[in-house]
Structure 1
Amino acid sequence: MTTTTALTTQAEQALDQSYAKFKSEQLTLDKSQLFENADQIFAMKEIEAATRQYLFDDEIAQQVIKLDAQVLPTMYQKRAGRRIFETEFYGQ
């Protein structure tokens, strides 16, 4: 069982804020733009869920807090860069 610390709580709040900001930005788009962003919308939710599972780690929690509202966009960009590398290197 994982205990919730003040650091974890603060990181959860930063993650919640980042995801809420992303969702509100998506809600301003029209239907066709939302459809075009489907991959990003799904990825952001998955990144948010996965990150939440590791907030018990103080280093991860501190990094989430440091990035604050930019945590999810930053992680998404790093994921996108890695995917391009995999495509070029592995031909997938």
Structure 2
Amino acid sequence: MPAAYFVVRAIVTDAGKRAAFDRWYETEHVPEAVKAFGVSKAWRFWSLDDPSLHQAMYRFDDEAGLAAMLKGDALTKLVADFDRDWPDVKRTRETLVLAQEFVE
């Protein structure tokens, strides 16, 4: 079964808040999410084209694991924590399934 991914894109419009957001995501949010979701890999990115765009990606072993997380309480708690700490940061969520991995 192919891996599935949960992607969260956040727009941090206030440049003065980006360093604090980055620290919070690195030291609090990602470690909590990795543990709560039961995943072994996560990535974070800042866009080179748009410095306000932050993206986090969590890898699940398969679609079933991702679907179970989406229905569970872990996501609800993490969303509430995000909303409490970053109420002005807008975000979107996306789910993906791996179609191909090419390594040469």
- TM tier, shorter chain? 0.3 to 0.5
Q: What is the TM-score of this pair, normalised by structure 2? A: 0.30
More helix by share: 1
Q: What is the TM-score of this pair, normalised by structure 1? A: 0.33
Q: Indicate the structure (1 or 2) with the bigger Cα radius of gyration.
A: 1
